[in-house]
Structure 1
Amino acid sequence: MTTTLEQRLDAFRRLDDVKLTFARRDWFPGTSGNLSIKLSSDPLQFAVTASGKDKTKLSPEDYLVVDGNSQPVEPTSLKPSAETMIHAVVYKQIPQAGACFHVHTLGNNLISDLYFPRGAFSIQGQELIKGLGIWEENARISIPIVENYADIPKLAAVIGKVITPDIPGVLIRNHGIYAWGNNDFEAKRHLEAFEFLFEYHLRWLQLQQITLP
């Protein structure tokens, strides 16, 4: 199925909304990070941020549409984000995923480094776990952490081996997080929930050094 111009422009507008929201939180330092929204599953096509753009601003050339091989579906001077292949892996491994967002924050970088030796970051009993669509009482989650390989195909392959439909995210050591959902609203909610959980845990670790009266 070929996506229409209207579908593409709608995806671009939705990406604008997410991009500006995250930019206001300083989640895109130094033009880092990337965002995508799936347009079709068969064949796989998705709108993704173009490489090297200032994500605090809007321009007519912020996004392009790529296929399952991370290649533009039509001639363009724009280059997809360097890690577009990771978005493709998410959409292939998690068929229900409709949007995938990647950001760099101090919180997710610190958590990914601290807990990399364990292969995952686990947390239990926090209310914001419900933001991930997990409603069991005293629920426990574990988000996988992978090595930050410079070889993007290798990184994408490793991510493809550890992600599951149950936990909508993966951490890359000293790099950032990829979070996804059935649509852009859900992916945004999942990312915000993860970031809150990371910040909560880091502050909890700091408070363990304080002796209460």
Structure 2
Amino acid sequence: MNLLEAGVLLAAESARYTAMGWMRGTSGNLSVRLGDDPLRLAVTASGLDKGELTASDVVEIDAFGNAMSPGVPSAEAGLHGRIAAVSGAGAVIHVHVLAPVLAGERWPDGVVLRDLEMLKGFGRQAHDDTVTIPVVPNSQDMAVLGDAFEAGFRADTPALIVARHGLYVWGADLHQARHRAECLEWLLRFILEA
């Protein structure tokens, strides 16, 4: 996939999340893997209304979030790079959906999910499987966030809540990451309201 093709996908996906209220204003960011050796990602550009992105509103970055093409990548580009490098993800989404932030506030040591059918959509078993979504303190330093992510990383739990900030979910591609995010948002709303 080249940068323009990635831009088309990221703009369409950003519009979808904006319509859901998950990427208000300029918040949130998405990335897709462009190449492996060396790792390269296309990430949404910084400071733009995510509901109005075009195919050219993306920046190629390296594994550390450094721009490899013209433009300013999202401030969280470094965390996208770390997640992709560690997990092997083909896509990473970062949205500012409320349920994960509230769940992280209520359970700052990790959000435990068990015996819920929607866990299957998140890639886990519906029963007899305990899933703990890590919660890490917020930081403006992507190396600090990356270290916190890596310290709690589990290959079978493709999500991270950044306290008082938002949610990161990843998958093999944008569709899988989206499906996981939608299922996880439902699961977190359920445990908050149950």
Q: Secondary structure at the match of 1:109?
A: helix
Overall identity of the aligned pairs, in %? 31
Q: Distance in 2 between matches of 1:71 and 1:56?
A: 24
Q: Which region of structure 1 is more displaced relative to structure 2, 156-165 or 131-140?
A: 131-140
Q: Secondary structure at the match of 2:179?
A: helix
Equivalent position to 1:38, from 24, 33, 36: 33
Superimposed CA distance per residue, residues 145-184 of structure 1 (whole angstroms, 9 cap, x where no aligned partner): 0011232221222112212211000111111110000111
Tell me if 1:84 matches 2:74.
Answer: no
User: Cα distance, 1:137 vs. partner?
Assistant: 2.9
Q: In the alignment, residue 112 of structure 1 is paired with which amino acid?
A: G
Structure of higher CA gyration radius: 1
Q: Residue 208 of structure 1 corresponds to which residue in structure 2?
A: none
- Check the 8 A contact 2:44/2:57 in 1, yes or no: yes
Q: Secondary structure at the match of 1:156?
A: helix
User: Cα distance, 1:33 vs. partner?
Assistant: 0.7
Tell me if 1:112 matches 2:89.
Answer: no
Change (3 A) 1:66 1:138: same
Tell me if 1:102 matches 2:94.
Answer: yes
When the two structures are superposed, what TM-score results if normalisation uses the length of structure 1? 0.86
When the two structures are superposed, what TM-score results if normalisation uses the length of structure 2? 0.94
Q: Distance in 2 between matches of 1:12 and 1:108?
A: 27
Number of equivalences: 194
Q: Which runs of 5+ in 2 are unaligned?
A: none
- Check the 8 A contact 1:169/1:178 in 2, yes or no: yes
Change (3 A) 1:56 1:130: same
Q: Distance in 1 between matches of 2:176 and 2:131?
A: 18
Q: In the alignment, residue 107 of structure 1 is paired with which amino acid?
A: A
Q: Residue 42 of structure 2 corresponds to which residue in structure 1?
A: 47
Q: Distance in 2 between matches of 1:135 and 1:10?
A: 34
Q: Residue 199 of structure 1 corresponds to which residue in structure 2?
A: 189
Q: Distance in 2 between matches of 1:187 and 1:124?
A: 20
Q: Secondary structure at the match of 1:192?
A: helix
Q: Which runs of 5+ in 1 are unaligned?
A: 1-5, 205-213
